[in-house]
Structure 1
Amino acid sequence: MQTTTRLNTPVSGILLMIGGLALLTLNDAVAKWLSPRYPVGEIIALRSLFIVITLGIGLGGRGGLKALKPTRYWNQFLRGLCFLVSSFAIVTALSLMPIADATAITFASPLFIVALAGPLLGERVGLNRWVAAIIGFVGVLIIAKPTPNAFQWGALAALAAAVGSTARDMVTRHISAVESSNVTTFYSMVMGTAAGLLTAWVSPWSWPTGSDFWLFILLGVLNGGAHLMMIESYRRAEASIVAPFRYTALVWAILFGYVMWGDIPDVLLITGSALVIGSGWYLFRHETRQS
């Protein structure tokens, strides 16, 4: 039986979440770059297939087929289903609307997690965590400057991504005591590959060539690494502790935008980012003193 140990190390859990989101933000940028030329299903399938092959070889080499056997089949299926919803929805949203609007809507997820961590996971969600989550979300809204133009099919897809990622993280925290991060990632990616392949029947694929081929490989590396780190973060810390640090993805987006495209932050961007960083730092210091 595959088992693991749930830890109580909030600092390492927070750092893993921040690092995982750095990879995930870069992954989203690459996916958005590819979306005009390739169907959403193809992007999901090929990046997931790369992760399946890599993890399958790694896990099988260490323990054979037994290393790939999950402890809770139903929960792995449920997490995979939530992963599919969030993955297809966010790539769809990024292909239909500006990344700032999509990001603002998907960042409703940490607030959902803080709200549901008590009734669904039995975690004690105190005032400090609520304050950090709400302040961070306000900062995101200031940065994204949502307009009436954002409320379209892309916005609905982004909202679906927020709901799907919330449910995914709830299941991840629930099974983190009995399933390893590698096994959980493996089965979610198997479902991502299978679901993406099925879309080829309704949306013809165009096999990537040249630099696009290597961008798909990069997608697999970034997405797999991000999910491994984020799953591990939920094994090391309570969901309502690490959830507000999902807002740091916006900080990474600002950094990547400046370095890669020369985007200069305006006053609203700086103000909102200060709230995002401040809320995360406040919670980080509070949990460090408590642990």
Structure 2
Amino acid sequence: METTRQNIAGLGILFILIGVFCISINDMLIKQLSGDYPLHQIVFARSSIAIIVSLLIVQYEGGLGILRTDTPWQHALRGLLIVIANMTFFVGLAVLPLADVTALFFAAPLFITLLSIPVLGERVGPLRLVAVAVGFAGVVIMQRPWADAESLEVGRIVLLLPVLSALTYALNQILTRKLGVSSKASAMSVYISAMFILVSSGFYLVAGDGRFADGATNGSVIFLLRAWVWPQGSDIWVFFGLGLNATVIGYSLSQAYRLADAATIAPFEYIGLPLAVFWGWVVFGDLPVLEVWIGILLILGAGLFVFLRERRQARILARAPTRGRRG
């Protein structure tokens, strides 16, 4: 039995590694496309391809019947939060270095720890609270509050977009824990892709002709609202690749957290940080400045400490369920 649990945990870790690697590819490709296409077009094309592939997997895993759920509004709310998290992340990605946006997004575990206190009623001890404070200090350093607008090169609001992305992602995770949403990985991929299609279609109906981007000078606004155009040359294959990649991401992340507990899986998500630095350097020629390096180290260290501490506390409580411990 112990060997079986270890094998399942190992499979969960494999899925999270695949998912995180594909996320890094996804972010790099979307940043490449951000200079020529609107975000809602990229999201629509990617999700349309992803939902087709996900439906094929659904058919393989048990048929369309597994799409039935007793909690449709919970899935809808989760999907909306994921859409907001993704779109705020990508809007920031259009004008910020890949490593900067990724590092700021990794404030999500810190938000999860804080939100678990009022929403889930969890007890968080002083050590984890100190770690959360250290992590948010890293976020503040990356925001460079001492710098003037000219030296920042982007607006304060743009710098906050990845933080908003982290917050909405954290709310999604907390909601999942609270409501105990459970479905097959392929079904959850379909739900999420459907929400992306719905939201991006709404953007097209309102702003697909690009009229709201006329005269705009902010790169993030232009990326969000420019007009749809037919993909040029080999870009159509990039769109297709994004769709397949999105399917792998959705399926891999869902499988990872279904097969193993979050305390085992979550620390491996931080592999996304060095991958973001790597792609930013190789593809875009960007390397983090000193403040970003400091922020990365603080956020990375704090997040890993929180995860490892939670894992240790879970083991203690499992051995002595009648004795509440705080850490």
TM-score by length of 1: 0.77
Give the C-alpha shift of residue 97 in structure 1: 3.7
Distance 2:77 2:253 in 1: 17
- Is the Cα contact below 8 Å between 1:173 and 1:234 reproduced in 2? no
Q: Equivalent of 1:210, from 230, 233, 236?
A: 233
Which runs of structure 2 are paired with 1:1-291 in the superposition (5 Å)? 16-17=15-16, 19-127=18-126, 129-130=128-129, 132-136=131-135, 138=137, 147=147, 148=149, 149=152, 150-174=154-178, 178-201=182-205, 202-204=207-209, 205-235=228-258, 236-238=260-262, 246-260=269-283, 273-275=296-298, 278-279=301-302, 282=305, 291=315
Instruction: Specify the SS of the correspondent of 2:49.
Output: helix
Give the C-alpha shift of residue 193 in structure 1: 1.1
Distance 1:128 1:242 in 2: 21
- Is the Cα contact below 8 Å between 1:107 and 1:246 reproduced in 2? no
How large is the RMSD of aligned CA atoms in angstroms? 3.6
Amino acid at match of 1:56: L
Distance 1:22 1:151 in 2: 30
Give the C-alpha shift of residue 98 in structure 1: 3.9
- Is the Cα contact below 8 Å between 1:22 and 1:249 reproduced in 2? yes
- Is the Cα contact below 8 Å between 2:102 and 2:276 reproduced in 1? no
Distance 1:166 1:177 in 2: 15
More divergent stretch after superposition (155-164 vs 9-18): 9-18
Amino acid at match of 2:82: F
Matched-pair identity in %: 32
Instruction: Specify the SS of the correspondent of 1:208.
Output: coil
**Inter-CA distance 221–133: structure 2 relative to 1 (3 Å threshold):** farther
Instruction: Specify the SS of the correspondent of 1:207.
Output: coil
Distance 1:160 1:272 in 2: 17
- Is the Cα contact below 8 Å between 2:105 and 2:165 reproduced in 1? yes
Give the C-alpha shift of residue 119 in structure 1: 3.4
Distance 1:189 1:151 in 2: 31
Distance 1:168 1:142 in 2: 26
Unpaired runs of at least 5, structure 2: 1-5, 210-227, 316-327
- Is the Cα contact below 8 Å between 1:137 and 1:276 reproduced in 2? yes
Instruction: Specify the SS of the correspondent of 1:31.
Output: helix
Distance 1:185 1:216 in 2: 18
Distance 2:17 2:127 in 1: 19
Instruction: Specify the SS of the correspondent of 1:206.
Output: coil
Instruction: Specify the SS of the correspondent of 2:94.
Output: helix
More divergent stretch after superposition (262-271 vs 157-166): 262-271
Q: 1:3 corresponds to which residue?
A: none
TM-score by length of 2: 0.70
**Inter-CA distance 40–219: structure 2 relative to 1 (3 Å threshold):** same
Unpaired runs of at least 5, structure 1: 1-6
**Inter-CA distance 178–116: structure 2 relative to 1 (3 Å threshold):** same
- Is the Cα contact below 8 Å between 1:100 and 1:144 reproduced in 2? no
Distance 2:200 2:185 in 1: 22
User: How many pairs align?
Assistant: 283
- Is the Cα contact below 8 Å between 2:53 and 2:247 reproduced in 1? no
Give the C-alpha shift of residue 219 in structure 1: 1.6
Distance 1:38 1:220 in 2: 16
